[in-house]
Amino acid sequence: MRLDKYLKVSRLIKRRTLAKEVCDKARVEINDRPAKASSNVKIGDKLAICFGQKIVSVKVEDIKENPRKEEAASLYTVIGEVPVPRDEKEEDAYLKGQ
């Protein structure tokens, strides 16, 4: 399945056009490599999505063309969320655990 469509049906991103724009700005990675909207997503892939203030990492668990709203969350597992530092001071504080 295309990456932009997967982001939409899994409800990680609300609209497919927005998912395409995010991919075009190189804010999505598949298995630690920048991905385009047309990239294929397979079960077991790890996605990293940069949302303004955080980076969300998820593992693809299932792929369905038209899942119900209740099934959307079962398509992936959240691995972690990391805040994006705004400047060097904040980055240093985060790395030191403060």
What are the boundaries of each domain within the chain?
3-83
Condensed to tens digits (0 to 9), the pLDDT of residues 21-80 reads 999 999 999 999 999 999 999 999 999 999 888 999 999 999 999 999 999 999 999 999
pLDDT at 90: 64
Please tell me the pTM assigned to this model. 0.82
| Higher per-residue pLDDT: 22 or 89 | 22
User: In angstroms, rounded to a whole number, what is the distance separating the alpha carbons of residues 22 and 40?
Assistant: 16
pLDDT at 22: 92
pLDDT at 6: 95
How far is the CA of 72 from the CAs of 24, 41, 45, 96, in angstroms?
Answer: 24, 15, 17, 36
User: In angstroms, rounded to a whole number, what is the distance separating the alpha carbons of residues 58 and 73?
Assistant: 11
Class of domain 3-83: alpha beta
